[in-house]
Amino acid sequence: SNMYLRPSEICFSQDSIGCTFGRCTSHPYRPIGETLDDILTGRINVNSIPSISVYNKNGKWFTADNRRLWVFQEAEKRGKCSEIYVRETFYIVYNKFTTMNNGASVYVRGNPGGYQWQRMPIKEIQPNETPKITSLQTIPNSSYTNQNYIEDMNTADICLKKLEQNVPTFNEISTAERKETLSLEKNISRDDSVMSIDNGNQY
């Protein structure tokens, strides 16, 4: 099913994450803190980031999309992300479950980058009510939510397709150009299968 959850209601499946996003994404090797800064300063919104999948384990929601969850949770702590669209899955590969604290937090390996998020005060997060179940009509208008087309594509297919289409990455776009590009949402590849929980994603 599809629903909306607060980032703080979702647990990390891993004990640590890399400080940059994966290579087969629309923003390869980009520091996660810089993406967080883009949300906090309004360059992008949370719907510009691929949705994550969640798995219910003993009444708690876990995700294998740990780097994106870190970005969403840090944005929520700073009042810039109240809830996110998620898709329920029924499986997370066993080697993704390395958390030592039941998913409460995750360690970032290396410098996550960015500076704005480190200067903003953190607000207290209040408990939420029952998650809102959604339908296809209420899915955010994001360039990454075309699930039917990309679910069957593997990582190699996506990398090849990105090369064929000559899709620019976040690192190749200047700050000014990125604002215009993200507002149009036409030049960013639909990468959600890379972030799929079931295939050991790059995120």
Residue by residue, pLDDT tens for the chain (203 residues) are 789 999 999 999 999 999 999 887 767 789 999 999 999 999 999 988 999 999 999 999 999 999 999 999 999 999 999 999 999 999 999 888 999 999 999 999 999 999 999 898 888 766 655 555 554 444 555 433 333 333 333 444 444 444 444 444 344 434 444 444 444 444 434 443 333 334 444 44
pLDDT of residue 87: 96
Using CA atoms, how far residue 100 sits from 51, 53, 95, 161, in Å, is: 25, 21, 13, 37
What total of structural domains would you count in the chain?
1
What is the predicted pLDDT for the residue at 27?
75
pLDDT reported for residue 54: 98
Containing domain of residue 15, as a range?
A: 2-199
Q: Using DSSP, state whether 78 is helix, strand or coil.
A: coil
Please report the pLDDT score of residue 110 as a whole number: 95
Whether this prediction's pTM lies above 0.75 is answered by no
Cα separation of 58 and 45, whole Å?
A: 31
> Under DSSP, is residue 31 helix (H, G, I), strand (E, B) or coil?
strand
Q: Is the separation of the CB atoms in 184 and 168 below 8 Å?
A: no
pLDDT of residue 24: 75
What integer pLDDT is reported at residue 96 of this predicted model?
87
What pLDDT is stored for residue 22 in this prediction? 82
